[in-house]
A and B are shown apart, each in its own frame.
Chain A
Amino acid sequence: MSTVLALIVRRLALSGVILVLVSGIVFIGTEILPGDALDATIPADELMYYSDEDLARMRAELGLDKPAAERFLNVFRGLITFDFGVTLMTRESVINSIIHPLLNSLIMASVAIVLTPLVAIALGIWASLKPGGRTDGIVSGATLFAYSMPDFVVGNVFVIVFAIWLGLAPAVLLITESAPWYQILAVSILPVLALTVSGVAYQFRLLRAGMVEALASEFIERSRLSGVPEWRLVIIHALPAALIPMLNGTAQFVAGIISGVVVIEAVFKFPGIGIELIRSVSQREVPTVQAITFLAAFAVIVSNLMADISILALDPRVRRAKNDR
């Protein structure tokens, strides 16, 4: 047991280190290269409108005239304590303006994160019952097609087909940002479906590869020859082993869901953090952008941590392994 604890503690420590590095990257990306947050706010061809005194004064106002190390510490402290400061334009609290959209997106993303693997597993099982067979071919082909179709096209097609032609869901989300969670959930149905389509394709491919490998093992062969029904082999024996590569890809999966959320929210005008991000980027609101990026990375790291712990639970071999790669 203590080995498991040790591994978990090690994982936590690693995650912490990564989080520090993430805040460093966010800071560098927005405040140092090639200029500081002020330069990020002012593109090159507009600098002609500012006199040097203007720039110096604005820098002092925003606290940008202090040395980089000191600024990073301030930014870092702010990010870690979730105190994201105030917006550049209206001096209103960043956290207040993003808390509702954040929760809304969390609701939508959580449903997608749970739904996608389930659908992928279902498809994976179905296709693996006869590897190389017709069902397998059709499902694999369909998922490849879905994988290649850009998510903004899928989203728009869903709106047209399911909302406008079939009338199964609202075409425009008539809902305020601070609406209660059950209302948000109700309007999330179509966006989540659109989000799931792209995610399922990739997860399915991972799962299927793992299943094929697992089903080809000797143990499975012997079980098959001794008369164990195919579905038992697939679900009880092959699936757990095949899940591990899927879980290994969790960080990437969650990151992909978050990227997908931004696009899907733009298509559906869902009151979430994705459209907040797009607004802040086009308005050059650096503090808000920093906050959202940091929170997104935080979510990815946390989910990865949880996936790692699940792998520990699923696969005894990992518990014994020293090498954590």
Chain B
Amino acid sequence: MTVEALSPMAAPVAAPIARNRPLRRALASPLTMIGLVLVVFHLFLALFAPLIAPYSISAILTDGLTPPSADYWLGTDQIGRDYLSRLMSGGRVALLVALTGVSGSIVIGTLFGLVAGYVGGWLDDVIMRLTDALMAIPELLLIAILVLTFGKEIWSLSLIVGIVYTPGVIRVVRAKTITIAALDFVRAAELRGEWLSFILMREITPNLLGLLAVEFAIRCSSAILKISALSFLGLGISQPTPDWGLMVQEAMSVVFTDPWFLILPAITLSSLIIGINFAVDGLARAYGVTGTETDL
């Protein structure tokens, strides 16, 4: 009996053509399509904003707030900086921090989750208690106190995001590992006398990939919202770096005469989050990924 003959927990995979069926099924749903388009659009924007933006994000070009015009398509903000350029670059820092931080938490979380779920015993207990303790502290508060310690630079925010989201990943990975570890092919590997790292890496982990992908996306969207909230509160990204959360906060002082300054960053930020959520919903359902936070 070889490992390759047995199928993983995901949808039945036999031949290349059949492998595309879940993807096609997912793409057939209009909501999922919209989601994917939005996500790709935002990634593109985040990567290329500095190149395609018409002006610099901090250059003062006019004498204060001006309405949209031929020169400045979305007008200029209260300091006189081009709003379109700032809007385009508004997601870069948040996205970068979220992506690096959550990637870190996925890697570390999977490691600990595997160990806790597979090895069990007292190690499992210790890890679970630590996880419970970390998760007992509300996310925003944990982020806030870590900002106190590590600072507000991009690398420190990424580190903080990583720390905050690791416990959740550990929990989810551990639960799934326990289920997988009970399956025949894993038992077979154990009987064969394979090393622990082999079992963890080659047998169990490949079956976690779907779950990890979904978790990554969900946590990214949560992280982006948290970082924007942090900037809104003044504890995160600060002037002159553009950030949608910060722009919402600035917009509130002129909302009665120029509501666009509130609506634009809010919609842009929400479109990213909605995109991630729709895409993840559709793909997860199509690929039959179970055991994530949103699926019970």
Contact = CB atoms under 8 A, between A and B. Distances in A.
Direct contact, A vs B (beta carbon within 8 Å)? yes
Interface of A: 14, 17-19, 21-22, 24-26, 29-30, 33-34, 40, 43-44, 144-145, 147-153, 156, 160, 205-206, 209-210, 213, 245, 251-252, 255-256, 258-259, 262-263, 266, 277-278, 281-282, 284, 286, 289-290, 292-293, 296-297, 300-301, 304, 325
Given A150-B270, A281-B148, A289-B145, A25 B232 contact: no
A147 B277 contact: yes
Given A29-B146, A258-B138, A289-B148, A150 B225 contact: yes
Contact of B138 (A19, A150, A284, A296): A296
Given A29-B145, A152-B229, A289-B144, 7 more contacts: A30-B149, A148-B221, A148-B277, A278-B233, A296-B137, A297-B136, A301-B136
A300 B136 contact: yes
In this complex, the interface size class of chain B, counting residues with CB under 8 Å from chain A, is: 35 or more
B141 A251 contact: no
Interface string B121-159: 000000001101111111111101111111100000000
Contact of B270 (A40, A148, A160, A255): A148
Contacts of A19: 133
A259 B245 contact: no
15 contacts: A18-B133, A24-B133, A144-B274, A148-B273, A152-B228, A152-B232, A156-B255, A156-B262, A245-B296, A277-B141, A281-B144, A289-B148, A292-B141, A297-B133, A300-B136
Which 5 residue pairs of A and B lie closest in terms of their CB atoms, listed nearest first? A21-B133, A259-B140, A148-B273, A258-B138, A255-B138
A205 B270 CA distance: 18
B294 A152 contact: no
Given A145-B274, A148-B273, A150-B269, A22 B245 contact: no
Contact of A40 (B135, B141, B148): B148
Contacts of B148: 30, 40, 281, 284, 286, 289
A278 B234 contact: yes
A33 B133 CA distance: 18
Contacts of A297: 133, 136-138
B137 A293 contact: yes
Contacts of B133: 18-19, 21-22, 24-25, 297
B137 A148 contact: no
Contact of A262 (B233, B245, B270, B295): B233
Contacts of B278: 144
B266 interface: yes
Contact of B235 (A149, A252, A278): A278
A292 to B, nearest CB: 7
B190 to A, nearest CB: 21
B283 interface: no
Nearest to A149: B270
